[in-house]
Amino acid sequence: MSNFNKYSRYYDLLYKDKNYTSEAEYVLNLAKNYNKECNKFLELGCGTGNHAAVLCNKGFSVVGLERSEEMVALAKQKNISNFNPQVADITNFNINEKFDVALSLFHVISYLTDNEQLINCFNTVHQHLNINGIFIFDVWYSPAVYIQKPETRVKRISDEQIDVTRIAESTIHYNKNVVDVNYTIFIQDKATKITEVHHETHPMRHFSINEIKMLADFIGFDFVKAEEFLTANKTSENTWGVCMVLRKK
């Protein structure tokens, strides 16, 4: 069951300042560095299609898999050419096609909190990649989570019709490498002043590099690199989002 239900209606508004263009260009450069052949992209957890829009605009084709029907409906409304968003679970899918690059951006893999889900997802991605195909994903990084600890955060954002206030409060489950992010979202209609309140919990798993290396090896990927997402800096306890690059053997 998706935890992006009501939330998805406000998703693009909440992340309107996120720089999807530079993120998509960053992953495209990474993919091209490690695979000369990169035309066909598979995007896991494609959300409302914001990264795919940038890639398709550059002439690439993207199949997007996304569990939330509402997110897929929003992605389809954007009418992005060469983008095919589909409702699917990234831990269990079968499309009769192989890809040069698999992407999973904005912590989607961190939503796979148990080992079986992770193994199923990595195995299935492996089956859908060509030899030397690249798998790029960003996840929460354990050293940063343990040292910095997630703080309570408040985000406020508006458009012409609504004011949205989102409070994020976290609970850490040390033995599972999981943090529950509990969102309370207030949506006030500017004209009527009526306020809706939504609650969603997003359990997020964080990873060490060795954990991903072990998983990669077990499934049949070479571990290519880990770096801070977007800056390409060396990972440290200050790196909340780490980008991992694997290549199918």
Ligand X SMILES: C[S@@+](CC[C@H](N)C(=O)[O-])C[C@H]1O[C@@H](n2cnc3c(N)ncnc32)[C@H](O)[C@@H]1O
Contact between 20 and 54 (Cβ < 8 Å)? yes
Q: Which stretch binds ligand X (CB under 6 A): 41-49, 175-183, 209-217, 225-233?
A: 41-49
Is 132 or 170 the residue whose CB approaches ligand X more closely?
170
User: Which H, E and C letters describe the chain, residue by residue?
Assistant: CCCCCHHHHHHHHHCCCCCHHHHHHHHHHHHHHHCCCCCEEEEECCCCCHHHHHHHHCCCEEEEEECCHHHHHHHHHCCCCCEEEEECECCECCCCCCEEEEEECCCHHHHCCCHHHHHHHHHHHHHCEEEEEEEEEEEEEHHHHHHHCCCCEEEEEECCCEEEEEEEEEEEEHHHCEEEEEEEEEEEECCCCCEEEEEEEEEEEEECHHHHHHHHHHHCEEEEEEEECCCCCCCCCCCCEEEEEEEEC
Residues of span 90-149 touching ligand X by CB under 6 A? 90-91, 105-108, 111
Residue closer to ligand X by CB (options 66, 100) is 66
For ligand X, the closer CB: 43 or 100: 43
Q: Which is nearer to ligand X, 19 or 233 (CB)?
A: 19
Nearest-CB residue to ligand X?
Answer: 47
Establish if 166 lies at the interface with ligand X (CB under 6 A): no
50 sits near ligand X (criterion: CB under 6 A): yes
Taking the complex as a whole, the smallest distance from the CB of residue 48 to ligand X amounts, in Å, to 6
45 binding ligand X? (CB under 6 A)? yes
Q: Based on CB atoms, which residue is closest to ligand X, 4 or 83?
A: 4
Instruction: Say which residues have a Cβ less than 8 Å from residue 198's Cβ, sequence separation at least 6.
Output: 6, 7, 183, 184, 185, 187
Among 28, 30, 35, 47, binds ligand X (CB under 6 A): 47
The region of 42-50, 55-63, 173-181, 222-230 touching ligand X under the rule CB under 6 A is 42-50
CB of 164 to ligand X, least distance (A): 16
- Footprint of ligand X on residues 193-212 (CB under 6 A)? none
Residue 19 C-beta: closest distance to ligand X, Å:
11
CA distance 28 to 80: 18
Of 43-51, 130-138, 156-164, 181-189, which part binds ligand X (CB under 6 A)?
Answer: 43-51
Question: CA-CA distance, 13 to 10, in Å (whole number)?
Answer: 5
Binding mask 55-94 for ligand X (x = CB under 6 A): ----------xxxx--x-----------------xxx---
Residues within the interface to ligand X (CB under 6 A): 2, 4, 45-47, 50-51, 65-68, 71, 89-91, 105-108, 111
